[in-house]
Amino acid sequence: MEYYNYWNDMLYIHKETSPTVDPASASARRSSPRDRRHSPLPTTPPTPQRISTEELAKVLRPHLLTTERMWALGYPLEIDPDSCKAVVYINPPPRPKPIQFTSFDVNAPEFIPGGSQSDSGRGSWGSTPRSDSDEEADAVEHLCVRCDKRFRVTREGEYLFEESCVHHWGRINVNSRHTCCNMPVGYKGCSTTRFHVWTGTKTGMNGPLEGYVRARSPRGGVYAIDTEMCYTAAGLELASIAVTRADGHLVYRSLVKPSSTVVDHNTRFSGIRPRDLARATKTLRDIQNDLLGFIGSDTILVGHALENDLRALKLLHSAVVDTCVMYPHPRGYPFRRSLRALCEELLGRSVQQSTSGHSPVEDARAAMDLVLLKINEELAHQTWRLNPNLQPYDPLIGSA
């Protein structure tokens, strides 16, 4: 049986040890109050017990997401067992209320009473209503995930109007301010990109979605997965993937060539640059075939907000452990704690510090370490309940 060396340093279960007691010495100690106050401790330390991959999978079973929870979190689910078509339900994200401004916009167009409805009261500017051409009639409207503006593209993904996207790239903190510029919610964005972008999904029901795959035979194992994505005309598409084992060793890594035209490489968060995708040779179908070579129907996949990775991979899988659920936000769902914040607080190390973007290998290892930390705490508490005289084991989480 193969054992992970990483687990030898992290997880062990104390075996109860009871030293042999001499009856004469025991009676002597009972007659001495001083000895009774300072009873001798066992000289032999508890023996660590190794944990195998099978045992790790067993202790992770209670943390597997139910089908109902996966549905609520936006995981892709199979329509029927034989179709490989998926359906995804996207809950509307929480939207903070913007600040109500009292100042007037000096650049706002003049309102003219009696203006026609077709020109929105701008008849004095000499504009004419836009004609409904065949191209516009066949256009699709999307909501930009960065600035919340609506934009239109053709069925082939070409933008009807080229309009810059002004947005905030940072999160909104507890003080209702953007972490990128520290400006309150409602202020004009601090960053500008060439195009509006969307994720490829909309709020509510999405599907049936084509191109999904599923493992059909068991293979066992526990792996951590992280992906990086870029924005294309079809939404977010897979650009990079990394898979690691429980001991932190890299199992699989590859760049991925998107199937649609890349609109934004999302380098700030993905770390993907044009030169990276220029040397990518594998397609999504190639990645799926590679993953199904070692991921089985019973393989446990670990990740942070893993629903995004499975949607990018177009992979249907039911045995998943999500650190977003394992370490919930204090304010409850739908709020989530970031992987970076969890690592700083619980693991005492920093991730995602590079200015060139996230590393899928680093993020996969961080997610696995968070899971190992939780499992270790549970095993230590269980062991302590069986033998309260033993102190819980304080794990040393490796950064490798």
Predicted confidence (pLDDT) per residue in 306-337, tens digit: 999 999 999 999 999 999 999 998 888 888 89
Can you give the pLDDT at residue 357? 57
Please state, rounded to an integer, the average pLDDT across all residues of the chain: 77
CA 56 to chain centre: 21
CA separation for the pair 167, 74 (Å, rounded): 25
Can you give the pLDDT at residue 51? 66
Return the sign of the alpha-carbon dihedral for residues 148, 151, 156, 157.
Answer: negative
Confidence of residue 383 (pLDDT cuts 50, 70, 90): low
Can you give the pLDDT at residue 80? 82
Predicted confidence (pLDDT) per residue in 240-280, tens digit: 999 999 989 999 999 999 999 999 998 888 888 999 999 99
Burial of 115 (0-12, 13-18, 19+ CB in 10 A): middle
Report the pLDDT averaged over residues 77-97. Answer: 81
Confidence of residue 370 (pLDDT cuts 50, 70, 90): very high
Asked whether the predicted pLDDT for residue 85 surpasses 50, the reply is yes
Q: Percent of the chain, pLDDT > 70?
A: 70
Can you give the pLDDT at residue 259? 92
Report the pLDDT averaged over residues 342-352. Answer: 87
Candidates 371, 387, 370, 374; CA nearest to 13 is: 387
54-92+213-386 CATH choice from 3.20.20.210, 3.90.170.10, 2.102.10.10, 3.30.420.10: 3.30.420.10
Can you give the pLDDT at residue 269? 86
Helix (H, G, I), strand (E, B) or coil at 221: coil
Asked whether the predicted pLDDT for residue 199 surpasses 50, the reply is yes
Which position has the higher pLDDT, 116 or 87? 87
Confidence of residue 212 (pLDDT cuts 50, 70, 90): very high
Report the pLDDT averaged over residues 118-127. Answer: 34
Domain spans of the chain, in order of start: 54-92+213-386, 134-202
Confidence of residue 376 (pLDDT cuts 50, 70, 90): confident
Asked whether the predicted pLDDT for residue 205 surpasses 80, the reply is yes
310, 209 Cβ separation under 8 angstroms: no
Phi-psi region at 63: left, alpha or beta (left = phi > 0; alpha = psi -120 to 50): alpha
Can you give the pLDDT at residue 379? 84
Residues β-bridged to residue 300: 222
| Residues in CB range of 231: below 8 A, 6 or more apart | 195, 197, 198, 237, 262, 263, 264, 265, 266
Asked whether the predicted pLDDT for residue 42 surpasses 50, the reply is no
Rounded to 5 degrees, what are φ and ψ at 187? -80, 155
Rounded to 5 degrees, what are φ and ψ at 254? -165, 150
Confidence of residue 150 (pLDDT cuts 50, 70, 90): very high
Can you give the pLDDT at residue 174? 79
Predicted confidence (pLDDT) per residue in 92-111, tens digit: 766 655 544 444 444 444 43
Helix (H, G, I), strand (E, B) or coil at 208: strand
Q: Percent of the chain, pLDDT > 90?
A: 47
Residues constituting the chain: 400
